[in-house]
Amino acid sequence: MKALVYKGPGKKALEDCPMPTITNPTDAIVKIIKTTICGTDLHILKGDVSSCIPGRIIGHEGIGVIDEIGSGVTVFKKGDRVLISCVSACSKCEYCRRGMYSHCVNGGWILGNTIDGTQAEYVRIPHADTSLYKILTGVDEEALVMLSDILPTGFECGVLNGKVQPGNTVAIIGAGPIGLSTLLTAQFYSPAEIIMVDLDNNRLEVAKRFGATHTINSSDGKAVENVMKLTNGRGVDTAIEAVGVPATFTMCEDIIAPGGTIANIGVHGVKVDLHLERLWSQNISITTRLVDTVTTPMLLKTVQAKKINPNLLISHHFKFEDIIEAYNTFGQAAETHALKVIIQM
């Protein structure tokens, strides 16, 4: 089969690879129909994710058709169309019992990280009964690709961890796909203001269409000053970091109001300074999280009921044989205006 292989920092290749096989009774083999590229995949290619070694097939999102099941799979059968969760959950360990699937001792974020992933014609899914979701007939499958990772990530790591509440003022730093997913799902809780901050005017225009009440281009170095003006010097109730670089986390520290919450989503590859000399007395909370996908069933129902439209996040389409071009487009978003790309098998 063909697959996209990580070859070491800065290197990738579309190669012929062995077909995956059933390893454990709870496995399923899924034939991929559609997949996509995540910002985390770009971090892998930079060498930021040490657990992902050269030779790994990357990717952790997609939808497909079950091609084979292990003897222990009871929920699914061959031919079922399924949504693949970016997090694999055994449902039995202590962390799974606490709803912390990302820390599953038998799974977690392993797809495209410590085991081969979804940017391939076929993928092995461990713990299939609790790591796949049936796709109902008539649901837009491209929209569902967004539920593999970015929509639950924005919702869980940003909105829920950020304690967004009705009437709050929220700032989201980073208007990429994760930041925009956070913007979409934050509106479930009716905050009074959602301020989007980014370097890219195109993405800020998209954020306005998605429901941002204010947008700020931070390229002039005055983003903190502008946020404080918008909030009459008070700061924001929730500051959500959705980039993964030191400057954007520091910005969150600079704009958070007393009693507020900083919710980190970004994948950080280098150290970040925590300015406790300013924040020790401010009653703030700082939260971190890897998506657990515990909200995926709820988000599935929301999409099926057309209460939210993840298709808004899709900007480009590619065939699988053009996945290198898809990476170039996604990685140069400032020039290409890319958000999420759909890769069709």
Q: With beta carbons less than 8 A apart as the criterion, state whether 251 and 218 touch.
A: yes
The arithmetic mean of pLDDT across residues 145-150, rounded, is 96
pLDDT at 233: 97
pLDDT at 97: 97
Domains of the chain: 2-149+292-344 (3.90.180.10), 152-287 (3.40.50.720)
Q: Print burial letters for 222-257: b (CB count within 10 Å at least 16), e (below 16).
A: ebbebbbebbeeebbbbbbbbbbbeebbbbbbbbbb
Query: pLDDT for 282-324, tens place per residue?
Result: 999 999 999 999 999 999 999 988 899 999 999 999 999 999 9
List the structure tokens of 88: 């694999």
- What percent of the chain is predicted at pLDDT more than 70? 100
Average pLDDT, rounded, for the chain = 96
pLDDT at 84: 98
Q: Per-residue pLDDT for 334 more than 90?
A: no
The arithmetic mean of pLDDT across residues 247-275, rounded, is 95
Query: pLDDT for 86-140, tens place per residue?
Result: 999 999 999 999 999 999 999 999 999 999 999 999 999 999 999 999 998 888 8
219: confidence class by pLDDT, cuts 50, 70, 90 = very high
The arithmetic mean of pLDDT across residues 55-60, rounded, is 98
DSSP one-letter code for 74? -
Q: Which helix (H) or strand (E) holds 286?
A: strand 285-287
- Cα 102 from Cα 115, distance rounded (Å): 15
pLDDT at 254: 98
What is the model's pTM? 0.94
268: confidence class by pLDDT, cuts 50, 70, 90 = confident
58: confidence class by pLDDT, cuts 50, 70, 90 = very high
- Cα 65 from Cα 45, distance rounded (Å): 28
- Cα 12 from Cα 96, distance rounded (Å): 33
269: confidence class by pLDDT, cuts 50, 70, 90 = confident
The arithmetic mean of pLDDT across residues 247-273, rounded, is 95
